[in-house]
């Protein structure tokens, strides 16, 4: 009787415990696995929250000076320039100077002072204006910056350059560029022509060919030659695609300053230019000058 009671108790426990164990095996606990770490996104990847890089302050580089317009002069800009208000002091003018500038109703004029150490041919060119601008050349009274004698004046227009060409003696001079109508920029060239002469030597019994070009940055070319015997000389200018003027001068005392004019003519696209003269012993200068548009040319000088 006692054994039958124990058997009944075990049967009862088996009925309760075995189903619980079966359910527990179906839902047993698995520990969570660790999610692998991904490398941080690079800047090229399209992530929703990219790393923000703070802006860097970039130091500005110093501005390089504006290039001088292309020129066939040997030096880019041999002039020394000292600005004093609206006056530019150039010192001794032994070459050429190129200046951009402007005149307005609030800045009526600009002045340029220069000295001439030897008698020289000086050319002044005023271009690139969009309204009338006047250019005047004066002596510098006792080198004080005070305007003295007037050596010429002209005006530049949108369709016409202003040109002053003079032989100047040793001394100090003032060039004034003056407002006349509306605000405008301008381009100014101050050239000592005497220093530009290319000496070709003696022309007797030979022919000398020269090729060159003229443009708004180099309007004139000067060629010097000598004769030690009276000769019939011939000058021929061709190979141009625009009007170019050719002139023949005596060389004043062998200084490079143009003296007496022995003739001038112009070459065109369809017509060469020729000068033929009988010349005595001495020094001479041939000037090839821009008249319309920039162009190449061929110059032949001969004394057969």
Q: Residue ranges of the domains in the chain?
A: 82-194, 203-302
CATH code of the domain occupying 82-194: 2.60.120.380
Bridge partners of 269, per DSSP, are none
Which regions of the chain are under pLDDT 50?
1, 23, 25-76
Sign of torsion over alpha carbons 279, 285, 290, 296: positive
CATH 2.60.120.380 corresponds to the domain 203-302? yes
Give the per-residue pLDDT at 14: 57
Considering the entire predicted model, what is its pTM?
0.69
Give the per-residue pLDDT at 84: 81
DSSP track, 149-168: EEEEEEEEBTTB-EEEEEEE
| pLDDT tens digits along 122-133 | 999 999 999 999
**Cβ atoms 203, 231 nearer than 8 A:** yes
Give the per-residue pLDDT at 55: 34
Nearest of 212, 211, 222 to residue 283 by alpha carbon: 222
> Is 203-302 in the same CATH topology as 82-194?
yes
**% helix / strand / coil in the chain, to the nearest 5?**
10, 50, 40
The helix (H) or strand (E) run that includes residue 26 is helix 2-26
């Amino acid at each position: 009787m006692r054994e039958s009671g124990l058997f009944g108790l075990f049967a009862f426990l088996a009925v309760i415990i075995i189903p619980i164990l079966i359910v527990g095996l179906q839902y047993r606990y698995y520990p969570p696995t660790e999610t692998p770490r991904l490398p941080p996104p690079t800047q090229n990847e399209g992530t929703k929250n990219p790393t923000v890089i703070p802006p860097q302050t970039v130091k500005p580089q110093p501005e390089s000076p504006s290039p001088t317009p292309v020129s066939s002069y040997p030096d880019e800009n041999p002039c020394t320039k000292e600005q004093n208000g609206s006056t530019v002091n150039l010192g001794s003018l032994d070459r050429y100077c190129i200046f951009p500038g402007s005149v307005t109703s609030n800045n009526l004029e600009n002045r340029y002072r220069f000295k001439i150490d030897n008698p020289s041919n000086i050319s002044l060119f005023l271009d690139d204006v969009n309204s009338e601008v006047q250019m005047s050349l004066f002596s510098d009274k006792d080198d004080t910056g005070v305007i003295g004698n007037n050596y010429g004046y002209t005006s530049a227009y949108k369709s016409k350059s202003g040109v002053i060409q003079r032989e100047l003696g040793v001394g100090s001079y003032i060039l004034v560029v003056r407002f006349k109508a509306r605000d405008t920029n301008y381009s100014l060239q101050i050239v000592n022509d005497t220093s530009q002469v290319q000496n070709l030597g003696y022309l007797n019994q030979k022919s000398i060919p020269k090729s060159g070009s003229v443009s708004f940055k180099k309007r004139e070319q000067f060629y010097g030659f000598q004769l030690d015997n009276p000769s019939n000389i011939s000058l021929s200018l061709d190979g141009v695609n625009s009007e170019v003027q050719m002139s023949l001068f005596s060389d004043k005392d062998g200084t490079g300053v143009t003296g007496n004019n022995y003739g001038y003519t112009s070459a065109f696209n369809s017509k060469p230019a020729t000068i033929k003269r009988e010349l005595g012993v001495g020094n001479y200068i041939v000037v090839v000058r821009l008249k319309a548009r920039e162009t190449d040319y061929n110059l032949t000088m001969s004394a057969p």
